[in-house]
Structure 1
Amino acid sequence: MKILSPRVLRALERFNATYPWDHNAHYHRWILRQLPRRFPRALDIGSGSGDLARLLAGRAADVSGIDADPVITARARQLTPATLPVTFTVADAAADVPDGSYDVITCVATLHHLPFAQALTRFRSRLAPGGTLVIVGLAHADTPVDHLLGLVAIPANAATGWLKNKGRPSPRPVSMTAPTRSADMTFAEIVRETEEILPGARLRRRLFWRYTLVWRRP
């Protein structure tokens, strides 16, 4: 079901390039609210330039960030003060999730790049008893509710970009930060598979083409 014409989509891309903002970072503070005030070890999967990993370091004794992109990982290292307990590693999250036990595992806008069930199973195996897994992911729009949220997100996206940039165009327009790769799984499919692997997980549809998943290991 096509909701927006190519012309409208191009206009949205131009607007987001002029007034850019990070749709994933929008959820970072929400992620922190799901976590304990202090915890020993954290793992951020798909850590990108390290923004979330650095926030986690404010609560954790040790944070590991992994990302498959060596360029963005090098950038994360450059941006991270040596005083923070954060280590960034180039690794494929589909196969190279570090061994060990983590009290917190986060994964933002990365899971749709991975084999879903295999990734969740691997995350579960790395989570310490009592630990918390928080995922912000992308789902394929399928139901009327999905499409309605997508429509609502369009003016909200424009307003957020305008406010975050204080109404001033970016001096150097950048690419749109909305999803750049379509997700294959619908939200219903994600819920169904998650319930089999992570019983009791809380999943919610969210604005800005995202859903959230929170699971605490017994």
Structure 2
Amino acid sequence: MISGVRAAFDRFNAAHPWDHNRHYHRWILRQLPARFGRALDVGCGSGELARALAERADSVDAIDQDPEILRHAGDIPRHNIRFRQQDARELPPGGDYDVITCVATLHHLPFAETLRTLRANLAPGGRLVVLGVYQPQTIGDWTLALMAVPANLAVGWAKSPRGGKRPVAMTAVTRPASMPLAEIRRVAARELPGARIRRHLFWRYSLVFGR
């Protein structure tokens, strides 16, 4: 029975796709100052968040490892955004970014190593905001995951494009999360002391850190 329900859920999502990450872009922006200098968007995908950051920033560096999704990102150019293909772990330290954002990317990379790299590139007084995915493990995790199911159906019905065409941002190659939230908290406490981590609806968590 469970497999049948899951199959029906998957069929609905395929017919009514919507971008769960973009749903949180406004929340991410609320964590940031009204104006800032340099910003870095890690795992920028098709560039929606980078363009929103560019409304407030002097300049935005937007990086992703997927060359195909970056081709779409450049379709709507802005003078103060630089899109480039790059692994976040290859960033030289000392980037001095006032803002760093990272959406649904950390589970593709070595978690602790990438956090260290991002911290090394954050300017004094800067803000790092991560939106990630995690592997449900606890009762609380699974309770929130189950609560997200009817909400997902409602939002999918209301927001999904006609004809079931997937948004460009959802065409990038992805993989499921493997780290439970408890491990994410443990590693983040070591690498980013004082970071605030919370669970969100739609199988996401946030991490906010300021230097």
Q: Would you call these one fold, judging by a TM-score over 0.5? A: yes
> For residue 195 of structure 2, what is the aligned residue in structure 1?
201
**TM-score, L = length of structure 1:** 0.89
> For residue 77 of structure 2, what is the aligned residue in structure 1?
81
Q: 1:150 to 1:180 in 2, by over 3 A?
A: farther
1:214 and 2:211 are equivalent in the alignment: no
The whole-number CA distance in structure 1 between the counterparts of 2:148 and 2:175 is 18
| Shift of residue 9, structure 1, vs aligned partner | 2.0
> For residue 66 of structure 1, what is the aligned residue in structure 2?
63
**Residue type of the partner of 1:33?**
R
> For residue 9 of structure 2, what is the aligned residue in structure 1?
12
Q: 1:101 to 1:174 in 2, by over 3 A?
A: same
**Residue type of the partner of 1:112?**
H
The whole-number CA distance in structure 2 between the counterparts of 1:117 and 1:208 is 24
| Shift of residue 174, structure 1, vs aligned partner | 3.7
Q: Percent identity?
A: 55
The whole-number CA distance in structure 2 between the counterparts of 1:49 and 1:193 is 29
Structure 2 unmatched runs, 5+: none
Instruction: Give the paired residue count.
Output: 206
| Shift of residue 8, structure 1, vs aligned partner | 1.9
> For residue 171 of structure 1, what is the aligned residue in structure 2?
163
Q: CA contact under 8 A between 1:20 and 1:170: conserved in structure 2? A: no
Q: CA contact under 8 A between 1:18 and 1:170: conserved in structure 2? A: no
| Shift of residue 92, structure 1, vs aligned partner | 1.5
1:141 and 2:136 are equivalent in the alignment: yes
1:116 and 2:111 are equivalent in the alignment: yes
| Shift of residue 116, structure 1, vs aligned partner | 0.6
Q: CA contact under 8 A between 1:40 and 1:61: conserved in structure 2? A: yes
| Shift of residue 14, structure 1, vs aligned partner | 1.5
Q: CA contact under 8 A between 1:63 and 1:86: conserved in structure 2? A: yes
| Shift of residue 38, structure 1, vs aligned partner | 0.4
Which SS does the other structure have where 1:148 is aligned? Answer: helix
Q: 1:118 to 1:61 in 2, by over 3 A?
A: same
**TM-score, L = length of structure 2:** 0.92
Q: 1:10 to 1:97 in 2, by over 3 A?
A: farther
Runs of 4+ in 1 over 4 A off after TM superposition: none
| Shift of residue 19, structure 1, vs aligned partner | 1.6
| Shift of residue 37, structure 1, vs aligned partner | 0.4
Q: 1:63 to 1:98 in 2, by over 3 A?
A: farther
Which SS does the other structure have where 2:37 is aligned? Answer: strand
**Residue type of the partner of 1:37?**
A
* Partner residue of 1:157 out of 145, 152, 156: 152
Report the aligned-residue RMSD. Answer: 1.8
- Report 1:93-104 matches (<5 A): 93=88, 95-97=89-91, 100-104=95-99
Q: CA contact under 8 A between 1:136 and 1:210: conserved in structure 2? A: yes
Which SS does the other structure have where 1:190 is aligned? Answer: helix
> For residue 53 of structure 2, what is the aligned residue in structure 1?
56
Q: 1:14 to 1:173 in 2, by over 3 A?
A: farther
Which SS does the other structure have where 1:42 is aligned? Answer: strand
| Shift of residue 182, structure 1, vs aligned partner | 2.1
* Partner residue of 1:129 out of 121, 124, 149: 124
| Cα shift readout 1:85-129 (whole Å, capped 9, x = no counterpart) | 101001122x32355210000000000111011000000000000
**Residue type of the partner of 1:57?**
A
Q: CA contact under 8 A between 2:17 and 2:164: conserved in structure 1? A: no
| Shift of residue 81, structure 1, vs aligned partner | 2.9
Which SS does the other structure have where 1:182 is aligned? Answer: coil
**Residue type of the partner of 2:134?**
A
The whole-number CA distance in structure 2 between the counterparts of 1:163 and 1:172 is 12
The whole-number CA distance in structure 2 between the counterparts of 1:5 and 1:117 is 35
